[in-house]
Structure 1
């Protein structure tokens, strides 16, 4: 059973790490398709993460190279812990080019070979967001990160055409691979489901 679980988690990791084609449609002026450049993201990330952001440029460049330019991003903080079964809770502000700034909360369960706890500052790049309301949903993904003191990590979550790429600078120790999802909400809740 243990080997089957590892095989299933590995397969999910491979499937979810496949490139997602960035949607490229012409939208009217003022729509959520107005994107952020790599330099704008780096400036926001460096201001937010501070001195911990030494590897931030390579992660943002990797995300932009794979998914294109995001039309929104979230800056916030989160805490998580796991002993095979885990939970994650966070809060932040979603920035859009011309639809304003919006408070957003997230929480979600995880299951897998994952042990430890961490607190993180998080920058989430949001791709193909058609409307503000579209962020408020569950986004499944696979997390295969190792967080060490001051470490950086990146993962990808997808629901329909919307892709969310969290980049986090964590403090704490957490290692392993897990399957789970993040549920984005307008209000905070303790229920991770």
Structure 2
């Protein structure tokens, strides 16, 4: 099995869009990328798991977790070569780790190590205050608040710097900009 790569150093600001399913991470990543005129790292798991679902009808299995983390980290490291002063990551190893615990009550050791060693300037923890949207891969609309708490506990357990981002539409975007501005003002 391929190992999860180390993070490549970056002199700019790396921010993770983080939290439960259907909280607007991809939308907000796109908005922030446009605002800061940079690039983003898309969620590797989405394409990986959609392809698996389309081919087999199966969703995520435990053995998918490390390959997902490998793909995500490779995409992130590749993106650093063309990012300007900001890089927005639509998920990371910690997100995969939290999902692993939620779905399988365990996580691969290498995934936990990658999550612990990950270095980002800020996590934007997206609140569950917007409507849940169904798709082939989303499956826990009734557990949103519980999942939000799991994600926040992951940040606390791994001592990651984060801001909770609430609000719908433009308000959510403005709240994210404010959190990033506070980071830059320090």
TM range (shorter): under 0.3
Q: 1 or 2, which has the higher strand percentage?
A: 1
Relative contact order higher in (CA < 8 Å, ≥ 6 apart): 2
Q: 1 or 2, which has the higher helix percentage?
A: 2
